[in-house]
Structure 1
């Protein structure tokens, strides 16, 4: 190898890790600009690529440059693989420990259906097997309406938020009744659906959410539109959906702060689970589907279930609702009847449909 060729190889070995480091580092500054937050979603992938790209530097004897790149990559990777403790976890412990051991447990099933899913029967079988109390879905397109209509006998309380997009909207289906005196509602162009549901005398706000893609798409605008609603949520609440955002992103942080919720840990990559790359989803898929719970929701277990025909994985949350009064309705929450706090989208306006 000539001296000139070796010089080019040395330069390439140094520059390649630097190229990966730029978006990797910028991803930690998502609060400054949504473009940086878009990089954050791929932090895991960028960190691995940076570490691998540092190997040629080591082979060429550039130990300092190679090791520095690997250390930076592993440090970034640690922020993804080692979950941070929920800020409110310690504050909740006294409340949970004061609760009766035998309080009722409920189940919520969450799934992005995929609007053109050709294996819809898999989802119906999943419902029959798990028998959830509440179901939140996204991409409930016209193609899905016959199947969803068929299960309404078992889930008679439902909210459909249609979308002008061909992928369809969000929906909430429940075996439990809507809380007395409340009206389910839709936000935006099927950005979210909210319903307060009565769980044996205690109510909780259930939100089905579907954010757009990160910058340069509409995700930032979606979050700003939702912020005003989430800041007014009071009482027990569960936000479930396809966030199109990873747990370590600024998008998720903004929503958890505004809604005073925490992310339920234990979920694995939930997207890119079918098609050519399905076998590699465990390693390259993104955890973009989430369930957020408020202080008075006690998740006993959350599971990421087997594929049900969609390119997203179903999630099952087992939870109970804590409170000071076990004998009567929950009086500590605000119902969804405050028009100033929650402007209701009427079916006639094309933003909300309830059957």
Structure 2
């Protein structure tokens, strides 16, 4: 039997709990003000669903106005996540032209997970998909020795060592680096850069691994990358584990600096093994991304089957539009003239 005082407390809790959840949900929309707020933004989808569920008791207790207001606000916030934003194009928003006749290439993106116990599955996936270029993160010492199994098929490579125990970033390529350019490492294995010759058309490929959101180093990582990104031109693909949701300020800052747009849709790519594996499609986060510039015609990007990592591999199929200039462009000059940074082979 419920007493009047306990009933009042229940009504108060039914209103208070959704209100408390709304605080980080609202702050997440102000990620440009402080990295703390952007940290909330990464979990906007989860907070919105939690707020909508927590508002149900208010409806049961007859607090229709409060309950409905909470649900409407939660669904509005969820809409900013689930409704895709059209990618910009060079034609002022028009649909990109058909790319029939252009050669198609494949890029595979994967955070290996430094302590992955199923390394053979990664090698089998590479052999099955035969990507032209591979961007990797968490290339630990164990992985460096294991990847020797594919170095015959991927002779062009850059592996950036790291002082972090999870290892560095790497780019493996079946195709040669563009003539006159030198691959580079940026930061403490924050980003690997290589300009690759795809049969007469070149594109800059970057393997990116950002740190975790605030209070960790993610915001500082973005600041460190921005001077490089704003100076690079021409066709470009940034792929990696960004540790950031696509609607976050972190991704927005990188898109603005690199003049790229995302081609990967809303698909959970992290938290896909272990205890939460079966619920990953609902509670996982889309933190692995492929960002492309306007001359990269992205035909599709697909999530591949798990390979023992807590991240899913992504496979991008793309073509390169237009032709390279006769002389070296700004991108080539940068990679040629800057200090090359630390590089290591597999």
1:344 corresponds in structure 2 to 340
- 1:128 matches 2:127: yes
- How many angstroms does 1:266 deviate by? 2.8
Partners of 2:255 and 2:331 in 1: how far apart?
Answer: 21
2:65 corresponds in structure 1 to 64
2:4 corresponds in structure 1 to 3
The alignment partner of 1:276 has SS state of helix
The alignment partner of 1:239 has SS state of strand
- How many angstroms does 1:321 deviate by? 0.3
Q: Deviations over 1:113-148 (max 9, x none)?
A: 000000001110001110000000000000101221
- How many angstroms does 1:101 deviate by? 1.9
The alignment partner of 1:244 has SS state of coil
The alignment partner of 2:206 has SS state of strand
Distance 1:39 1:342, change over 3 A: farther
Report the RMSD for the aligned CA atoms in angstroms: 1.7
Distance 1:164 1:309, change over 3 A: same
1:110 corresponds in structure 2 to 109
The alignment partner of 1:338 has SS state of helix
Paired residues, what number? 345
2:310 corresponds in structure 1 to 311
Given that 1:202 and 1:329 are in contact with CA atoms closer than 8 Å, whether structure 2 keeps it comes out as: no
- 1:353 matches 2:339: no
Which runs of no fewer than 5 residues in structure 2 stay unpaired?
A: none
1:36 corresponds in structure 2 to 37
1:83 corresponds in structure 2 to 84
Given that 2:184 and 2:335 are in contact with CA atoms closer than 8 Å, whether structure 1 keeps it comes out as: no
- How many angstroms does 1:330 deviate by? 6.4
- How many angstroms does 1:92 deviate by? 7.1
- How many angstroms does 1:87 deviate by? 2.9
**Aligned 1:92-107 pairs, distance under 5 A:** 93=94, 96-97=96-97, 101-107=100-106
2:330 corresponds in structure 1 to 334
Given that 1:236 and 1:333 are in contact with CA atoms closer than 8 Å, whether structure 2 keeps it comes out as: no
The alignment partner of 2:12 has SS state of helix
Given that 2:99 and 2:319 are in contact with CA atoms closer than 8 Å, whether structure 1 keeps it comes out as: no
Q: Deviations over 1:191-222 (max 9, x none)?
A: 00000000001110000000000000000000
Distance 1:13 1:181, change over 3 A: same
Given that 1:232 and 1:341 are in contact with CA atoms closer than 8 Å, whether structure 2 keeps it comes out as: no
The alignment partner of 2:148 has SS state of helix
2:242 corresponds in structure 1 to 243
Which runs of no fewer than 5 residues in structure 1 stay unpaired?
A: none
- 1:286 matches 2:285: yes
1:191 corresponds in structure 2 to 190
2:222 corresponds in structure 1 to 223
TM-score, structure 1 normalization:
0.93
1:301 corresponds in structure 2 to 300
Partners of 1:40 and 1:235 in 2: how far apart?
Answer: 31
TM-score, structure 2 normalization:
0.96
Partners of 1:237 and 1:300 in 2: how far apart?
Answer: 15
- 1:23 matches 2:19: no
- How many angstroms does 1:100 deviate by? 5.9
- 1:49 matches 2:45: no
The alignment partner of 1:231 has SS state of helix
- How many angstroms does 1:334 deviate by? 2.8
Partners of 1:300 and 1:340 in 2: how far apart?
Answer: 30
Given that 2:180 and 2:336 are in contact with CA atoms closer than 8 Å, whether structure 1 keeps it comes out as: no
The alignment partner of 1:277 has SS state of helix
2:150 corresponds in structure 1 to 151
Partners of 1:142 and 1:129 in 2: how far apart?
Answer: 24
The alignment partner of 2:245 has SS state of coil
Partners of 1:90 and 1:36 in 2: how far apart?
Answer: 34
Distance 1:332 1:265, change over 3 A: farther
Partners of 1:205 and 1:341 in 2: how far apart?
Answer: 16
Given that 1:17 and 1:54 are in contact with CA atoms closer than 8 Å, whether structure 2 keeps it comes out as: yes
Distance 1:125 1:267, change over 3 A: farther
